[in-house]
Structure formats: structure tokens, C-alpha cells
Amino acid sequence: MHGNLTDHARCLYADGDQPATKCAEEHREHYFIEELTFADADEILAMLHELSPHMMEGRLPVWVRNLSYRLVVLQRSDQPALMREAAENLWLHGPDWDSIAADLDRHADVLEAG
């Protein structure tokens, strides 16, 4: 078993210019998605920040990043900075998700206004 979500993602998708890590685990994407689905926000953010530190870099598929941010925002719907980070990810990969990114930015504004 992988030590954490980041290790599991690294085995599936690689890390930057490095090829995917070789390990003895069976690598099926749906096992990773199950682990992601039930991970806490800190673990998901650690994976995102380690494997895609500058948003556009890294080999995590866009759909994995979008799902990851969605799960984090659902867990921490009271954190405007996190909503803005999620929105930034969507703005970079739009325009399909531009309206969702705008909604996240507006919601963050409302939370900050109190």
C-alpha cells in the first residue's frame, strides 16, 4: 500500500520531469480515485501542491486536479483563499469552467466581506 495520496498519485502520473515511480502496488486509476474520494483536505492539498506546485506544471491530469479541488472546497467551504486557489485552477483550464471559477471568486468575496 502507498504511504499517502501523494505517493499513489506519483506512481500513476509521475512527478514533473520524473517518470512514474515503480513500486509493487497494482496501479489502477480507480483505486487512486477511491483513495482521493475519501481523503481529507490536508492530504489532497499536499498532493496538489507537491505534484503541481505552479498549477500549470506537473503531470496530474486536469480532471484529477479539478476533482481534487472540488473535494477540498466541499470540505472547507468557509475558506476564501482556498476557493480562490480552486478558481485559479479552473481559469487556467477553461473556458468550459469559467462560470464555475467566477462563482468561486464571488463566493470568496462574500466570505471575506463577512
36-56 pLDDT, tens digit per residue, is 999 999 999 999 998 887 777
Mean pLDDT, the chain, whole residue set = 88
Indicate whether 110 pLDDT > 70. Answer: yes
Q: How far out from the chain centre does Cα 46 lie?
A: 9
Residue environment code for 42-59, b if the CB has 16+ CB neighbours within 10 A, otherwise e = ebbbebbebbbeeeeebb
Provide the residue range defining the domain that includes 89. Answer: 5-113
Domains identified in the chain, total number? 1
Q: What are phi and psi of 40, to 5 degrees?
A: -85, 165
Of 18-32, 52-66, 69-83, the poorest mean pLDDT is in: 18-32
Report, in angstroms and rounded to the nearest whole number, the Rg of the chain calculated over CA atoms.
15
Of 8-12, 16-20, 38-42, the poorest mean pLDDT is in: 16-20
